[in-house]
């Protein structure tokens, strides 16, 4: 039974539009766990608007300023949120999902059409089991900190530990601290579903798909990114020197440049 209510929740949609008439297909950015649309507003939305794209970012239910219950929301509810948002914008957008948002986009693509999709530091179709085990062994202190975040909220989140998990060593301390104040708890139901296979069966190989890995990702290692790429019948592209939070970390400009090159290559500028 779905965790969604009878009346779908209101969803926060943040949009940056180009100064001139848009000449490119719109983009819809889907965030990962513990954050909201704000993570795209910092750099990505204005950067893509400057390049002629209408760039949208949605906060999934229970995240950011969206309505709905965080604690009963599951992955299928997040898929429904993407679907409602796609129907809300003017033209069918290219979907860009990060981390948990990447695997939500993967499940969306099994059910609905999309002109193209980019999966950034995405959880692989098989879910988090192997990733969590590897992460816990490699850095148990940071792994336990995520448990603190989930249990009591962001108030006791250590910026130092947050940096180890999500950011590069050279990201300024004030930015790490500011982002730490903006993170939130995640849906227990969604986290439970992520612990096992999330996307089973075939994914559409006819949808142009970019699978992009962060070269210094402490959460999603290269073997997991490669697994996602294999599922989509493509090769992974890696941006070196970037940590898991690719939209906020130092080097975010190189991630944008990689996305723009890919969008040009698939003809997204033609809309």
Residue 203 confidence (pLDDT) above 90: no
Give yes or no for a contact between 28 and 89, defined as CB atoms under 8 angstroms apart.
Answer: yes
Residue 152 banded pLDDT, cuts 50, 70, 90? low
Instruction: Give the closest residue to 64 by CA, choosing from 35, 97, 40, 28.
Output: 35
Three-state SS at 178: helix
Q: Phi-psi region for residue 108, left (φ > 0), alpha (ψ -120 to 50) or beta?
A: alpha
Name the residue with tokens 């980019």.
118
d(CA 172, CA 12): 28
Share of the chain above pLDDT 90, in %: 68
Three-state SS at 232: coil
Q: What is the pLDDT of residue 90?
A: 83
d(CA 115, CA 208): 7
Q: What is the pTM of this model?
A: 0.91
> pLDDT tens across 27-61, in order?
999 999 999 999 999 999 999 999 999 999 999 99
> pLDDT tens across 184-200, in order?
888 999 988 998 899 98
Domains and CATH numbers, the chain: 13-270 (3.40.50.1820)
Q: What is the distance of C-alpha 97 from the center of its chain?
A: 4
Q: Which residues contact 209 (CB under 8 A, 6 or more apart)?
A: 116, 117, 118, 119, 232, 234
């Amino acid at each position: 039974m779905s965790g969604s209510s009878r009346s779908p929740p209101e969803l926060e949609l943040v949009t940056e539009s180009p100064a001139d008439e848009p000449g490119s297909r719109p983009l819809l950015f889907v965030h990962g766990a513990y954050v909201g649309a704000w993570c795209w507003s910092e750099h990505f939305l204005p950067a893509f608007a400057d390049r002629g794209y209408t760039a949208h970012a949605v906060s999934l239910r229970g995240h950011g300023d969206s309505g709905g219950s965080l604690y009963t929301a599951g992955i299928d509810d997040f898929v429904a949120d993407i679907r409602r948002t796609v129907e809300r914008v003017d033209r069918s957008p290219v979907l860009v999902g990060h981390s948990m948002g990447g695997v939500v986009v993967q499940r969306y693509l099994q059910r609905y059409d999309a002109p193209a999709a980019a999966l950034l530091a995405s959880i692989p179709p098989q879910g988090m089991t192997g990733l969590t085990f590897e992460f816990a062994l490699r850095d148990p202190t940071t792994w336990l900190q995520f448990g603190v975040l989930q249990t009591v909220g962001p108030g006791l989140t250590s910026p130092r530990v947050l940096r180890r998990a999500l950011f590069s060593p050279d990201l300024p301390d004030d930015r790490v601290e500011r982002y730490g104040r903006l993170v939130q708890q995640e849906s227990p139901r969604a986290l439970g579903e992520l612990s096992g296979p999330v996307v089973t069966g075939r994914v559409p190989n006819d949808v142009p798909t970019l699978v992009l890995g962060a070269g210094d990702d402490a959460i999603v290692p290269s073997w997991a990114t490669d697994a996602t790429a294999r599922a989509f019948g493509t090769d992974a592209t890696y941006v070196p020197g970037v940590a898991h939070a690719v939209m906020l970390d130092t080097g975010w400009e190189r991630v944008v440049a990689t996305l723009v090159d890919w969008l040009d290559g698939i003809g997204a500028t033609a809309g």
